Structure 1
Amino acid sequence: MLAQIEAQTKQKVGIVTDEAEAFEKCDAQDASPLFTTLPRELRDLIWAYATAPYEDPNAKFEETAYYYRPGHTARLKTDTALLLTCRRIWLEANAMPMLQSEQSFYYHRAAPDARNPQWMASLTDHNRHNLGHIRLFCQMFAIEKLEAHAGSLRDFCCLDKSAPALAPQAAFRPRMLQVTIRHTDWWFWESEQPLRLEDHWVKNLLNTPDLRSTHLFKLELETLDYKADQLATIVQRIKGFESECKPTHVIDGKPTATKFVLRGEPEVSTWKGPANIDNRTFDPYFGKKWLKYHVVTLTWELRFPSIPRAFVPSLRLAPRVASDTPPPPTAKASRYLARLRRSTRLRRGPGPLKTFSRGMHAARQSVLVEEQKAAARGESTRRRRFELCMGALKAKQWEARWRDERSLLKFEGTIESQ
C-alpha cells in the first residue's frame, strides 16, 4: 500500500517518531500503572529487555562452521511484538531494536544471517539514525585494502554495484563498530604460519572521517591458545595507537576536534571449538578433538578533548565539519579522464589538412550527440515536473485523510528520480 502511495505522489512516506509531535495522536494510557507509576527510565529498561537480540534456538549454526563462535551459535533474532501493543509503547520503544541489534558483515565465509549492501540501502532514514552495532568479520586480505579517506569505510560496508547508492556521509553513523579477526582469518592459518598484522589498516580505521560520529571502535583478535604469546606482541604494539586529533564537529558554532583513545586494558576471553573446522581435518590439528581459542579485544572511545566531560553519544549527530580531503578518483573515473586527455591531443597523420578534417568531423559528431542529450534531458525534465505537480495534488488528499484518522504517517520529501 505504501509503495502505491509513493508511486502516486512521488513522495517518500515515513512515520512520525518524535514523541512530542505524535503524543496528541495517541492514547496517553493514563489508566495503566506502567505509564502513571513507573518512571520513564524504568520503562526504557523494560523496552530494552523485551527487544534485545538473542540467538534463535530454532536456527542453530553448524558447530564446525567458520562463523560459529560464542555469540554467533545461531541466527540473531529480535522480537518486536511489544511495539504492536499500543501507540504509546511504540513511540517510546521503536528505536530500541536497531539501537541494540548487531548487524554482521562477513568478508568471505558468511553466516546465513549476514548483512549486505542491499540490506543497508533498504534501511529507512530513521533506522540509519538509530544504527547501533556494526560488526565486520574480515579475512586479512580483505581488511588490509581499507583506506583512510572519507567514505572508504562506508563504501567497504555499503557499496555494491547491484545495490542502490547511499546518500553520502550521514547515511553511515553506527554507534559502535567492531572488527573481528578470527583464527581462520589470519594469513596462512592452515599451515600454522606466525601471526602478522599490518598496522596501516588499524590506523586507517582510527583516522577515517566515517567513524567520527561513532562512540566506540572495537578490535577483536582471536587465535589458538598456544599462539597467545604471538598475539600479545601484536596487541602490545597496537595498544599505543591513537587517532589523529582533527576538527570534525561544529558545537556552539565552533569547529571542535575529536580523537579515538584506548579505553582501559584489553579484555581477554577464551572458548573451545571442534578441531574439524568446516568439517575438514587440517594437518596441524590431526588427532585433536577440540581447539582452545584465545581472544583479546581492544576498545577505543571517541572523545572531544576540549570538552572532557561531554557525553559523546549525545554529540555524535552534531553538525559535521566538511572533509577537505577529496577521495581519490575511482578506476572508472580514471579511465574516463585518460580517454578525455587522449581525445584532446592531435593525432599524428600524413598531413595537417587531414588532421584538421578529422578534427572538424569529430567536433560535428560531438555537437550532434550533445544536442540529442540536451533534448532528452529537456523532455525528461518536463515529464518530471508534470509528475510532481500531479503527485502534489494526490499528496494533499492523503495528508487530509491521515489528519482525519490521526495517523502517524507523513511525507518526508520528494523521491529522487533514478
Structure 2
Amino acid sequence: MKVAVVGAGIVGCAIAHALLDEGHEVLILDKEGPAFGPSRGNAGWMAHTDILPIASPKNLRQVPKFLLDPLGPLSIRPAYFPKLLPWLVRFVLAARPDAYERSIQGLAALQQLALPAWLARAESAGLSRHIHRQGGLYVFTDKAAFDEAGHVARRQAEFGIKVEMIGPEELSQFEPALKPRLVGAAFHPDTAHISDPLQLTLALFEAALARGAVFEKAQVSNISLGERPSLIGPDGWQRVVDRAVIAAGAWSKPLAAALGDAVPLDTERGYNVSFPGVTGLTSRPVGFEGHGFVMTPLESGLRIGGAVEFGGLKAAPNHARTRSLYDKAASLVDGLPPFESGTLWMGFRPSLPDSLPVIGEASRNRHVVYAFGHGHYGMTQSTATAGLVAALIASRKPAIDLAAFSPRRF
C-alpha cells in the first residue's frame, strides 16, 4: 500500500522503516524537515528502564513546591495556566493509585520492547555504532530519597529490569567527576545512550530514503474521512494514500481533533546546554534525582538538560532556566566548561497527562493511525512504536495490548 507518515522526527523515521520492511510505498511528510523538533535536541538516553509515570501520588504532592521556584524542575507560565487547566485535571486523575498502576503496566509493556527493537533496527540499518551500552546512573543528594529508591528498584525488578544500588565510594569509582556530596546511586547496567540525537535521526532518515521512501516538505492541516485518506494542506496541496500515520509530535493535536479524537496533548518545553567537543567528563549518562536534569556524554559533546515548562508552542524560550540547570550541575560535577561556551536549545516534548503515548486508529477513519505523545521517551520508544504501527496497518495483532494507548482512553 501507499502509506503517508506525517512527521519526520525519530518516531516518524522509525515508522517509515517498519513500513518499508513490509513492502509498503512510504511517503514522509514534514512541514520543516527531518529532526526539526525534540529529535535533534533530546538527552540521548535509551531510557527503557523508566517505568514510573510522571503523574504519580508522590510527584503530585511535590507540585506546589516546584511551582514556587520559577526556575525549578516544573514551571507554568502564568498566561498559559488557563489553557493548561484541562491537562492538569487529567494529570491529577492519572495520579490516582488505580490509574497510576494502569499507567505503569502500559509504560512497562512498551519499554520492554524498546531496547530490543532499537538494537535490531540499528543492526539492519547499519547504525549500531550510534548506540553505546555503558549503563546509566541516577544519583542522589538526599539520603531518604536514596533509601526510597530501593522500592522503585524492586518494582523495576518485577519487569526484569536490572538495578544495582551503589554507595558513595563505589560511585566515585564509577564517575570520578561527580562531587562527594552525592550519597549514592541506582545503576542500570542495561541502559544505553546514543552518539547524538540529531545525527542518529538524520542517519535513520537517510537510510529510509535509500530504501525507497520519498520525502516531501509539506504542511498537513487536515485529513479526509474517505476510504483512501486525502491529506490536505494550504493552497490546494493534497495527497491521496491508502493509509496515513500521524507522528507529528506536539503538532499532532489538531489532526487528531479533525478525525474525531479530543486528545489532551500539550507540550513540555525542555531546555538544555551542549558543549561541542567536550567528551570524557563522564562515561555514561547521569540523572540527578530531585534536581530535574540529566547529563549525557554524547559523541558531539557534553549535554546538560531537563526540567519541564508549560508555555505552549509560541512563547519565546526562557534560558534563565537553562542557566539554572547548569548551575545545579556545576554544584554536583567537577570540571564543567564555562556556561558561556555552550550552545543553548529549547524543544517541545509532546506530552500526555498519563505519560503514555497515543498509538491506535483514528475514530473517524480506521485507515489513519496515531503514533504521538511520547513525552520524554520519543527516542527510546520510537522503534517499538514503529513495530506496533506496522501491525495495525497490516491488521495484525500487535505485540502488546494497545488499550492503554488508545486515543479514546480519556
TM-score range, shorter chain: under 0.3
Give the structure, 1 or 2, with the largest relative contact order (CA under 8 Å, sep 6 or more). 2
Structure of higher CA gyration radius: 1
TM-score of the superposed pair, with normalisation by structure 1: 0.22
Higher helix share: 1
TM-score by length of 2: 0.22
